Structure 1
């Protein structure tokens, strides 16, 4: 767990799983893979095996030991709903989140059908906890199905991470969505985000009454282009506000 995250929309990260495999164009320049692979073969390093998928049960109790409440991005270095992660392990992650309910958790995936089905089964006979937020990554209009899957999932707060934004999202329906984050790609091979793509998402949020958070323009470094869109920063949050410790 990282006690202080540089990600603008969270406070900390928790990685009970690391490693992943690419499934969309948004994964092409994955920052987590780039970071992890630097240490492949370094004996004793947490990423000795690079970005290979790895369960880390020794980290499952970390939020329980972190007593001051905060916003926690779950699996910033993986995807909790990867097909090779056993459901029994996902259960253990959710058990921890439910027990350590003084935190707020942000669970983000590109494997939206599995998340939808898992949440429907877990919360079939009870309301989903208000402190567990669930979201999907959408990089362009080809991610529309993921939005539909998220909308069908029982969740107190549903959010979209429209980053890296590599193309227009089109006429997006935000009904049942409580928050939208948008941002450009960063890193040595960052693809350019056009201003009209960002405006299209912001304007859809404003028309449909959904809080909009503009994370970054991106570039070689995450903060290269700053955070302003049309002369201001957009840092809106859903009504269930972030945890302040």
Structure 2
């Protein structure tokens, strides 16, 4: 076999391998996309239920979670939570949200379980903060999580806790990732085994591990400010143990 023939065979093999790799990557991406599921259908709150204490005994209290112009809206008051009916484990949650009128407070909760476990309001969970200029903070609500530089970020160890007046907040790594008020923000939360990672507009802003929960429902808050959601997308993450 002459050198020219050998080069032709090698080139053909390389192109075949490259093409196979490209098709494989395309297949994986398509499979992930096929597995992704919007938790909001754009029409109603199917798949969710509302937990608002003020609605318990007063039929005149309005539900703070509505659908408006194809958007899922948290009106902010009365305070409470919109919780998925289903529980999830090992997933990536993608939210796109904005404060509709003025800045304020809201949150996305993962590993949700016991309702009203804290202050007869907040369900047992790990909250990913959405409060303006604090997006990406962790708040420990009867569940706990560890981050690097724990004492520097959370405060004195003897004051840590998951309820009452304990230090439950773990600040994010950067408060400069949010867009100006009125613009849409992308919040991505990845829950994998006992770890939770958070991105705000593609910036990694928090990472925790040794979480005391690995699965649960997902919740969105009504906590004072009106917030619009146009994307609530969940993608399962397949692990070797699955």
Question: Does 1 or 2 have the higher relative contact order (CA < 8 Å, sep 6+)?
Answer: 2
Between Structure 1 and Structure 2, the one with more strand by share is 2
Is the TM value for this pair above 0.5? no
TM-score normalised over the length of structure 2:
0.24
Between Structure 1 and Structure 2, the one with more helix by share is 1
